[in-house]
Amino acid sequence: MSAPAKFEIVDFNQLSPVSCPCGLAKRAFAEVDDFPGTLHVTEIQQDARLHYHRRLTETYYVLECDEDARIQLDDQFIPVKPGVCLLIRPGVRHRAIGQMRVLIVVFPKFDPQDEWFD
């Protein structure tokens, strides 16, 4: 029996993007059993679809964005710029507005069955 790996390495440049309500996401660490979350780099090219999660908590860290980019959290529209980080708890309806590139940390692991739309 071999010892488990002490670390994991992901090259996001090698990951294929998947469509999501926010745009195109590259997702890492979903298959790593002893890591409780997932890490995503998401490209938002247009206004994302308003949605929420019942179980997942997401943290959005804005890497790049247009000057007029915003994130809708329930009925509030929050202007964002590179370096801004938002913690989005379960039940908060959210979407990105405008072009941006975000790093998203999700706990527990991302589950596409936990995306809900009104």
Percent of the chain with pLDDT over 90: 89
| Residue 15 contacts residue 28 (beta carbons within 8 Å) | yes
**Mean per-residue pLDDT of the chain:** 95
Give the strand pairing for 57-65 and 100-107: antiparallel
Checking if the pLDDT of 109 tops 90, the result is yes
pLDDT at 1: 67
Q: Where are the beta strands (DSSP E) in the chain?
A: 18-20, 23-28, 38-44, 57-65, 70-73, 76-79, 85-88, 94-97, 100-107
pLDDT for position 37: 97
What is residue 98's predicted lDDT score, i.e. its pLDDT? 94
What is the per-residue pLDDT for 22?
Answer: 86
**Residue 50 in this model has a pLDDT that exceeds 70:** yes
Q: What is the pTM of this model?
A: 0.92
Are the C-beta atoms of residues 39 and 28 closer than 8 Å to each other?
Answer: yes
Strand, coil or helix: 70: strand
Confidence tier at 53 by pLDDT (50, 70, 90): very high
Per-residue tokens: 77 = 């529209």
Alpha-carbon gap, residue 27 to 83, rounded angstroms: 20
In the block, tokens 């994302």 appear at 48
- Topology adopted by domain 19-114: Jelly Rolls (2.60.120)
Ordered DSSP codes for 12-38: GGGSPPEEETTEEEEEESTT-TT--SE
pLDDT at 65: 97
